[in-house]
Amino acid sequence: MRFMNDISWVPGLRTPFLNSFFDLVTLAGYPTFLILLLTFGYLFFSSRSFFHTAMLLIAAGLLNTFLKDVFQDPRPAAEYMLDPRTGTSYGWPSGHAQIAVVLWGFLAYEIGQRWAYIAAAVIASLICFSRIYLGVHDIGDVLGGTTIGFACLVAYIWGINNVRLRQLVDNLGHGGLLLALLVAHIVYILVYPAHGEHVAPVWLVGIMMGWVIARQWMEHREVELPGTLIVRLLIASIGTATAFGLLIVTISAPMLLALEGIPDMVVSYSFGAIFGLATAWLLPRLIQRLPIQ
């Protein structure tokens, strides 16, 4: 339908203030913000809740990337675009819309309060509209992203609350779970519809493995920061800044290191896993050893 793809009405809404506002809003859907939010939440609020949030976000992100490269739906014309950060990625479904629904929807579910659901709806709506306003997605892209995001959210909540599924995971044991996850990752990478510059996000896949290993090593205990509220905020902020540094290193290292005889995908996956382990296990372990009461 023309309505779904036509954004010729968008430029008429634009003002310098709204351009800056929605450019700021849309940053909440990009990987750097998401990783830093997950790290801070994992350290400061609830490691259990933010572990599940991370698993859901990564799974939704992997699905979104896969679907984009399957359908290869073009974005709106360049004349409408105000966000240069999209690169060569395709339009349908909108990753920002999909991620906004699963992230803020799951956090609202974890909080379980009416105000949280209202806040989640407002934030997700602003992020979704920012993609149309900035001219990088049309209505069809955003509706596709929100629909798939909602399906991912419902499926994940059902999964973590399903007794039989939890028993199956428990029966697998630590080694069995990691093996099953590794097999799933290998299948995802092998069937990924790679073409040209569009390849499987192997580094992101590795992060999922790193986080799962980290939670097993921590025996699923909550991270407990020492000190007063202000001290805990400071520690979590420093930990998040450290994670940002690790993020840069683990993204750059595979491109800088020439490891002969080792496939690039193995290197990228390994560095993703290292980042996941460092943020979800090493950082909390170091923080809890601080001489602070």
Where are the domains positioned within the chain? 2-287
pTM strictly above 0.85:
yes
Beta carbons of 81 and 75 less than 8 angstroms apart? yes
- Give the SS3 label for residue 88: coil
- Phi then psi for residue 195, to 5 deg, are -160, 135
pLDDT less than 50: residues of the chain: none
Please tell me the predicted confidence (pLDDT) of residue 173: 86
Looking at residue 103, its amino acid is: L
Q: Which pLDDT score, from 0 to 100, does residue 26 have?
A: 97
Percentage helix, strand, coil for the chain under 3-state DSSP, each rounded to 5:
75, 0, 25
Alpha carbon separation from 183 to 12, 154, 187 (Å, rounded): 50, 24, 6
**Comparing C-alpha atoms, which of 202, 201, 194 is closest to residue 69?**
194
Q: Which of 68, 51, 102 is nearest to 208 (CA)?
A: 51
What SS3 state is found at 252?
helix
Residue 16 corresponds to which tokens in the numbers above?
A: 């310098």
How many whole angstroms separate alpha carbon 92 and alpha carbon 101? 16
> CA separation (Å) from 19 to 10, 63, 139?
11, 30, 18
Q: Which residues contact 82 (CB under 8 A, 6 or more apart)?
A: 14, 19, 23, 133, 134, 135, 136
- What pLDDT, on a 0 to 100 scale, did the predictor assign at position 197? 87
Q: Do residues 254 and 267 touch, judged by C-beta distance below 8 A? A: yes
Quote the tokens at residue 39.
Answer: 């790290």
Would you say the C-alpha torsion 77, 78, 83, 84 has a positive or negative sign?
A: positive
Phi, psi of 198, rounded to the nearest 5 degrees: -90, 105
Amino acid at 66: F
Looking at residue 72, its pLDDT comes to: 95
Give the type of residue at 167.
Q
pLDDT tens, residue by residue, 35-56 = 999 999 999 999 999 999 999 9
What is the signed CA dihedral for 137, 139, 141, 145, rounded to 10 degrees? Answer: 120
Residue 147 contacts residue 102 (beta carbons within 8 Å): no
Structural contact between residues 206 and 270, judged by C-beta atoms closer than 8 angstroms: yes
pLDDT value of residue 260: 61
Tell me the DSSP string of 211-238. Answer: HHHHHHHTTTPPP---S-HHHHHHHHHH
**The pLDDT of residue 143:** 96
Identify the burial level of 46 via C-beta atoms within 10 angstroms of its C-beta, where 0-12 means exposed, 13-18 middle and 19 or more buried. middle
How far, in Å, CA of 53 to CA of 33, rounded?
A: 14
* Distance linking the first and last C-alpha atoms of the chain: 62
